[in-house]
Amino acid sequence: MDHAADAHRTDLMTITRFVLNEQSKYPESRGDFTILLSHIVLGCKFVCSAVNKAGLAKLIGLAGETNIQGEEQKKLDVLSNDVFVKALVSSGRTSVLVSEEDEEATFVESSKRGKYCVVFDPLDGSSNIDCGVSIGTIFGIYTLTHTDEPTTEDVLKPGNEMVAAGYCMYGSSCMLVLSTGTGVHGFTLDPSLGEFILTHPDIKIPKKGNIYSVNEGNARNWDGPTTKYVEKCKFPKDGSPAKSLRYVGSMVADVHRTLLYGGIFLYPADKKSPNGKLRVLYEVFPMSFLMEQAGGQAFTGKKRALDLVPEKIHERSPIFLGSYDDVEEIKALYAMEEEKN
């Protein structure tokens, strides 16, 4: 037995240790955020285990219900939603929960309430479960700014007011990417320890990338700027090499690759979905928060994504996010379109 190697393994930066280190920088902190995060991490571990066993446990089939977005619910969606709602409520640190799977916001009973509101998509990309493609959980956290009875208004805030955001990707490895507003850090689940270990400290997205990620099947319904941008990716006129297309169709997987390798992820508005397809609170905001923290940008076609003020909890928006220079290009095309009109 290699005792030296085992001793080294206990010196790892786990996500709990990392968050406690961050907490110690704020002497006034009471540890509420740390407790909330540990419950989110537990939920992620549980869902990771369920995803890995899904084929064996016959969890893959449809649950026979349709969720608020009109998508047929897979059993794993339902399970993941239950897991996160229970984990967040039992933390005793939350007041309002908004889930992609539930039509209405969940208000925590007063005896278990805390000062945070959590918005989340418990299992994004679940249509990919059957074919083994990466799927994930996305979450964002707001602070409750008053002591009155919580309402839906407490989560209908711009993304720039989020205090933390992240996602957990269930793929070839289980990876949790988190930002508390001081950079972006990636943690990989070590199954032998059951712990998330810091493997990607201070992730920075390259300033420019050579990958674009979009569902080109919708191309005939796109607006002018998106069409021009994708044309430019494929047939650059300045002699630069064409960009590569990579599109998984699972937002967590596509954004994760964009974050690490650079490039741009696009889900524009089109004639079929004039407001875009992705939900503002628990898809657009958390991913935009992470992109900006990693040195990238996120744009809606009209403004900075984090400046949007949602009016409904399941509101949708177009989104262009990724490397700073790549997003600048699409912003310039939309600005030109604006001038023409």
Which residues touch 38 (CB under 8 Å, ≥6 apart)? 16, 19, 91
CA 223 to chain centre: 26
The model's pLDDT over 21-47, given as tens digits with 9 standing for 90+, comes to 988 888 778 899 999 999 999 999 999
The model's pLDDT over 130-182, given as tens digits with 9 standing for 90+, comes to 788 899 999 999 999 888 899 999 999 999 999 999 999 999 899 999 999 99
Q: Give the pair of three-digit tokens for residue 279.
A: 């939900």
Confidence (pTM): 0.93
The model's pLDDT over 281-301, given as tens digits with 9 standing for 90+, comes to 999 999 999 999 999 999 999
- Closest Cα partner for 199 from 184, 183, 186, 216? 186
Q: Is 93 helix (H, G, I), strand (E, B) or coil?
A: coil
Between CA 74 and CA 206 the distance in angstroms is 36
The model's pLDDT over 108-132, given as tens digits with 9 standing for 90+, comes to 999 999 999 999 999 999 888 878 8
Domain 15-200, what fold? Fructose-1,6-Bisphosphatase; Chain A, domain 1 (3.30.540)
Mean pLDDT along residues 249-256: 97
User: What residues does CATH 3.40.190.80 cover in the chain?
Assistant: 211-339
In the chain, the amino acid numbered 224 is G
**What confidence tier does 9 reach under pLDDT thresholds 50, 70, 90?**
low
Between CA 47 and CA 35 the distance in angstroms is 19
What per-residue confidence (pLDDT) applies to 129? 80
Residue 3 pLDDT greater than 70, yes or no: no
Domain 211-339, what fold? D-Maltodextrin-Binding Protein; domain 2 (3.40.190)
First-residue to last-residue Cα distance in the chain: 72
User: What residues does CATH 3.30.540.10 cover in the chain?
Assistant: 15-200
Q: Give the pair of three-digit tokens for residue 189.
A: 């689940």
Q: What share of the chain is helix, strand, coil (3-state, %, to 5)?
A: 40, 25, 35
The mean predicted confidence, pLDDT, of the chain is 92
H-type alpha helices, the chain:
3-9, 15-23, 32-53, 75-90, 224-234, 251-261, 285-293, 324-340
- Closest Cα partner for 100 from 138, 128, 46? 138
